[in-house]
A and B are shown apart, each in its own frame.
Chain A
Amino acid sequence: MIVECRNISKSFGGIHALKNASLTLNDGEIRALLGGNGSGKSTLIKVASGLIRADAGEIFIDGKPAKITSPKASKRLGIVSTAQELSILPNLTVGENITLCSIPRRRTGLVDRGAIRARSLAVLEKLGIADVIDTPVGSLPVNKQYLIEFAKAMYQSFDILLIDEITSALYREDVAVVRSILNEYRAQGKIILLISHRLQEIYDMCDSVTVMRNGEIIETCDLQTADEQYLLSLMIGEDYRGVRESDRSEHAGELSQEAFITVSGLPIPKYGTAVDLTVRKGEIIGVAGLQGHGQSDIVRALHGMNGPVRITMNGSPVTIKDPIQAVKHGIAFVSGDRENEGAFKRHDLAANISAVCDIVLRRRLNSVEEALRSVNTKYDSEQQNITSLSGGNQQKVLFGRWMQTQPQLLLADDPSKGIDMQARGEMRSLLYSMADQGTAMIIVSSDEEELALLCADRSNAKVIVMYEGQIVRTLRGAEVTRQNITAATLANGGKNG
C-alpha cells in the first residue's frame, strides 16, 4: 500500500497553513513529521483525517484518488487518527469511548455492552492499563487520558495511523509501551505517521522523518543518516548551533542577595509533601521533573489557584486567596494549555492582549499595536481572532498580556508546550529581558532541553528538579545541561523505571 499526498494547500484567512505539500508513505514504515507549530503538520493530519477540507490537492491511496470529505469517510478508507486535543468524552465510560467509532451491536441492533467491555479490555491490556476500565474518564490523570485516546485508535481497524502529539503527555514507561505497539503495526505492514516535538523519541521510534516549515515540506530523510543538528537546522531554516551560541553569550548581571518572595510549606496535595522556595528579584527558576510530580502545583498554588497561600513578599507577610489577589500583587501566570487556560477563543487579538489590564486592573493599554509588537507577534490585524494564529504566536500574545501588567513575579506552567523552535527562542529572549528589568520567574517545563537552553550558564538562573512532590536537586551554571536535568528527574526514580 502506498499513500500519496499531492500538492495539498490550505489557507485560513489569508495565512497559508499548507503550501503544495506532497508526501509519499509506504507500508511498514513509521514516519515522523517534524516541524514547528506554524509549519502545517497538524493541518496536514486534519486534512487526511477529514476534519478540514484542503483548498487544493488530492490524496491517493494505491494510486486511486481518495475522497476524504468527513472523518467518517476518512475512517472508511482505513485512515485513523489520534487528536492532540483528545477526542475522548467525559460523559461516556472508558469502554464506550474506546469503541465509539464503531460500537459493537448484537443481532437485534442494540448495543452489545459485553462486547464493549471485552474488546476495550483487550486493547487496554495491551497498553497495560486494564485497571482503568471502570474509572470515569474525566477523573483519569492526563497521561491515562492520552493512552485512552491511543486505545480508541487501536480499536479501529486501520491501514494508516496518524498520531498527533500523543507522547508528550505520556510517562517514559507509557512511551515504551506505545513504541512496542507501533513496532507491531509496522510488522503488519501498516503505515504510521507520528508527530512529536521530542527528537529523542523520533529517533527511538521512527524509520524516517519528514521536516516541515511554514506550511511546506522541506525534506524527507532517513533517520539512520540524519543527525539532530541537521534536523534542527532544517526545522529552523538557519544554523541551529548559531542560535544556541548567541543565547549563551548573553550573561546577566549579578543577582541581588535579598529574597523577594519566600514560601515555606507549600503543599503538594498529590504526594502530601511540602516545598520551601525563595525567589530573588530578576531570578529565573526553571522547574523540571517527570510529569505530575508536583511542578504544576508550585506555580498554581502561588497564583492562588489551589486555595489561600501565605507568602512573604519583600519581607512582609501576604496571603493570596485567589488569582485576583495574585494579579493585584503583581503575579502573572502563563499556561501552556492555551486552549483552556490562555486564549479567549472567540475574541480578537486586541481583547486578548489587554484582557488582564482591562478586566482585573481596570487600566487601558496605551497601544495594542505596541503591545503586540513588543512580543514580536506575527499578525494581520488587531481584529483577527486569536485562534487564527499559530500556537507560538498565540503564546506570544498571552505573554504580552501579562507583560503589560508589569509583573514582579512571572509563573509559567509548561509555556513552550506545542510551540516551535523559533517561537521558543523568541520567548527566551523575552524572559531574559524581563529578568533584566527585575522580574522574578518560576518556569515549569516538561521539556528538559528547553530548560537547559533557558537556564544554562546564567548567573541569575537555576533549575530545580522535582520528584514525587519534593525538590531533589538544584542545578546552577554549567551543571545545567539536558543530560543532567534528565538524570536528576530520574535520580530517585529506581521505582519509577
Chain B
Amino acid sequence: MRRPLSYYLRKLLKWSALPAFLLMAASFLIVKYLITGTNINASYITSFLNTNTAVICMSIGVTAVILTGGIDISLGALVSLCNVVAVQLMMHGVHYLPALIIVLLMAVAAGAVNGAVVSYLHVPPLLTTFATQTVFAGLALTVMRVPGGRIAGECTSFYYGKLFGFLPPTILFILVPVVIWKIYRRSPEGTRLYAVGCDEGKAFLSGINVERCRMFAYCFAGFCAGMGAIAYTFYVSAGDPDLGNSLDMRAISAAVIGGVSLSGGYGDVAGGIFGCLFFGMLTNMIVSFKVNVFTQNLLEALILLAGVLMAIAVRNRSMSLKGGLKREGQ
C-alpha cells in the first residue's frame, strides 16, 4: 500500500528514538566542525566503533530486558567474565572457534539464570541481577586474578582487518544482535514482549506466556553481552577481570536517552544504539578539551544527566498528552 509522505513524516516524529538520533547527529557535527584537530574519516569511525561496540551490544540487550519492564545490571560483570574466560581458554591452547562458542553459550546461560530467577522465582530484577553481578565479577576474578594474557593472533588480525574489503569487522558484532532482535520483533513473540512490558496482568489475561517472553529477554541480553565481550576482547587483545565494569550503567542510560521507558513497553533498540554513539562522541569531545581526568568525568556525567532528563521530559510530554485526551473522552 502506498501512503502519502505526511504519513511517514508523522511516523518519524513519533519515533521514540528520534531525540537520541538528533543528539547523536548534533554531537557528530560538533566534533566535525567545531573541534579543531579531529578529522572524521574512515579510520576515525573505525576506531570510534571499536571502542564503543561492547556498550552498544549491551544496550541492545538491556533494551530488550527494559522493554519487558525489567532491568539487568549484571551485564558489565558478564562482559568481564566472558573476556577472561575467552583469554584463559585460548592461553590454554583451545582453538579460538570453540573457545568463542563456549563463551557465547556461557553468556546465554548466565542470561538464562537471570531470566529464570526473575520470571519463575519472581525475584525483583534489580535484586536478581545485582546478586548475579557480584557472582559474575567474583568468577571473573577467580578465572584471572590480574590483567594479562593474550588472544589468538587470528582474532586480532581478523578484527583489525576489513570485512568485504571496506567494513570494520566490529560492525558484525553489532549487526548479529540487531538482526536477531529485528526478526524476534517481527515474530508474534515480539508483539507479546511489548504487551508484557506494558502490563503483565493484561498480557497474562490475553493468554500470553509471560515467563517465556521474560526468559527470551534475559537470554538475549546475555547473548548480546557475550557478543560485546568478544568484540572488546579482540579490540584489547588481552584479559582484564575489570574490563566491563561500569559499562552496564552506560548501556542503561543510553537506552533511556534512546527513548526506552524504564517502566517497560515503550521504545526501540535503535534508540539505545544512538544513545551509545552520542555518549562515545561526547567522551571524544571532552577528551579533546584536554582537561584533567576528574573534570572529564564530571563533565561527562553532567551531560549524561542532562541527556537522560531531556529524554524523560520528551516522553512525559507525549504521554501526558495522551492522558489529557483520555480524560476528555470520558
Contacts and interface: CB of A to CB of B under 8 A. Distances in A.
A355 B192 CA distance: 37
Contact of B205 (A51, A110, A136, A138): A51
A111 B266 contact: no
B322 A141 contact: no
A20 to B, nearest CB: 26
Interface string B290-330: 00000000000000000000000000000000110111111
A92 B198 contact: yes
Give the interface SS of chain A, mostly helix, strand, loop or mixed: loop
B42 interface: no
Contact of B330 (A136, A139, A141): A141
Interface in A440-467: none
Nearest to B209: A72
Contacts of A75: 207
Interface residues of B, number: 30
Contacts of A103: 188, 191-192
- Interface residues on chain A, size class: 35 or more
A90 B326 CA distance: 11
Interface string B107-140: 0000000000000000000000000000000000
Interface string A269-284: 1100000000000000
Interface stretch (A81-89, A208-216, A227-235, A320-328): A81-89
B202 A87 contact: yes
Interface in B24-42: none
B195 A138 contact: no
Given A105-B188, A138-B326, A90 B198 contact: yes
Contacts of B6: none
A292 B187 contact: no
Contact of B202 (A88, A105, A139, A269): A88
Interface string A122-153: 00000000000000101111101000000010
A188 to B, nearest CB: 22
Contacts of A89: 194-195, 198-199, 202-203, 265
Contacts of B155: none
B186 interface: yes
Contacts of B202: 83, 86-89
A420 interface: no
Contacts of B186: 110-111
Contacts of A101: 206-207
A29 B328 CA distance: 38
A71 interface: yes
B205 A83 contact: yes
B183 A111 contact: no
Scoring B203, B206, B325 by chain A CB atoms within 10 A of each residue's CB, the highest score goes to B206
Contact of B322 (A83, A109, A139, A300): A139
Interface string B172-200: 00000000000100111011101101110
B329 A140 contact: yes
B208 A100 contact: yes
A334 B208 CA distance: 35
B194 A91 contact: yes
Given A87-B205, A100-B206, A142-B330, A136 B322 contact: yes
Nearest to A51: B205
Given A71-B204, A71-B207, A140-B329, A91 B188 contact: no
20 contacts: A71-B207, A72-B207, A72-B209, A89-B194, A89-B199, A89-B203, A91-B194, A91-B195, A91-B197, A100-B208, A101-B206, A103-B191, A103-B192, A110-B186, A139-B329, A142-B330, A152-B206, A270-B328, A291-B330, A300-B327
